[in-house]
Amino acid sequence: MKFFYIRVSSKEQNEARQLEQAHKLEIPEKCIYIDKESGKDFNRPKWQALTSILRIGDELIISDLSRLSRNREDIKNCWKMLRDKGVNITVLNMPILNTKQYTQMEGMGQLISDIVFELLSWMVEEERIRIKTNQKAGIKEAKKKGVYKGRPQKYHENAVGSDKLVYDAIIESLNSNISIKELSIKLGISRTTIYKIKNEINL
């Protein structure tokens, strides 16, 4: 059976391009798994659900290696885990990595695939490091110019939709003298965020 895994880094990013690829391949909706999570690790709900049902002979399709992770060692460990399960892997933007073509082939073909995989996994991590370095440099420069405002606050009095509901729930709970720790667990929000709101309303 064919499965398509999609990952975007946050809820704000759009998975449309990867979805279009899945639809072009006529992958059934039930076989498309989408995570809107960071690539820092594999603690993602849809990824965990998908890997729990993958069986020998199944095919996992991704648009590029970075959808698995942006960490070289994690990519390598994930690749090995999938291959040990007997799962074939298709990377759409790098056909030479597609393992299915090597199932009946020994020697040079698999060797080339392994070499390219090592190179690409290294490139994915280097790109992640480059992005983080550029972000830090940009923040540092913005701070120097006095224009850096940091990450926008998500939960506040003028928020809308679900963010406003969460903010109101925090306020109500704080007024009820629920502990910060208990509130953090209950709402799934960091204690730092709750303390910040608490300080803003002087509770």
Residue type (1 letter), 67: R
Annotated active-site residue in 9, 69, 121, 190: 9
Residue 25 CA to chain centroid, in angstroms? 22
Our answer to whether residue 69 is catalytic in this structure is no
Q: In this structure, how many other beta carbons lie within 10 angstroms of the beta carbon of residue 116? A: 14
Structure tokens at 25: 């391949």
**Which alpha helices (DSSP H) does the chain contain, by range?**
16-24, 45-53, 72-84, 108-145, 161-175, 180-187, 191-200
- Any residues with CB less than 8 A from the CB of 67 and at least 6 apart, and which? 5, 6, 7, 18, 39
Instruction: Report, as residue numbers or ranges, the catalytic residues.
Output: 9
